[in-house]
Amino acid sequence: MRRIFLLALLPLVACASPQEQCIANATKDLRVLNKLIAVSQANVDRGYAIEVQEYIELSKEVCGEVDGEKVYCEVPETKKRKVPVAIDLNIEQAKLNSLLTKRSQLSVQAEKQIAACKTAYPET
């Protein structure tokens, strides 16, 4: 499934200008870090984390016919649910502070890389 998603993005990447591709590469880590900060901030605000757990649910499906009678089989289906998880708020706050500090550092680096991208690939 993941490969299909990545293949679906290829035409979009091909349409981006060299400058846009360069900037996207330069800001990738910053985008990832921003997502992590959002999760950590939500955990601190809520007071607990949310974890995705997989579970198996059996469903009955017709899997054949014997003497004109339908035969049912139990088919396992993997599903996901979100569950609250206790966390140490002091540790989570420390992690959030660390991520925020790192974001400041990455922002400075990204700005320099973006400027280099604009110099290397000026828009026409």
At 60, is the secondary structure helix, strand, or coil? strand
Q: Output 19 or 99, whichever has higher pLDDT.
A: 99
Q: Which residues contact 49 (CB under 8 A, 6 or more apart)?
A: 43, 84, 85, 86, 87, 92
Strands (DSSP E) contained in the chain are 49-66, 69-85
Instruction: Please tell me the number of Cα atoms within 13 Å of 56 on its side-chain side.
Output: 4
Residues in the chain: 124
pLDDT given at position 124: 65
pLDDT given at position 16: 86
Segment among 57-66, 88-97, 101-110 with least mean pLDDT: 57-66
CB 62 within 8 A of CB 71: yes
Q: pLDDT tens for residues 22-34?
A: 999 999 999 999 9
Among 114, 121, 113, smallest CA distance to 19 is for: 121
CB 10 within 8 A of CB 108: no
Mean of all residue pLDDT scores within the chain: 90
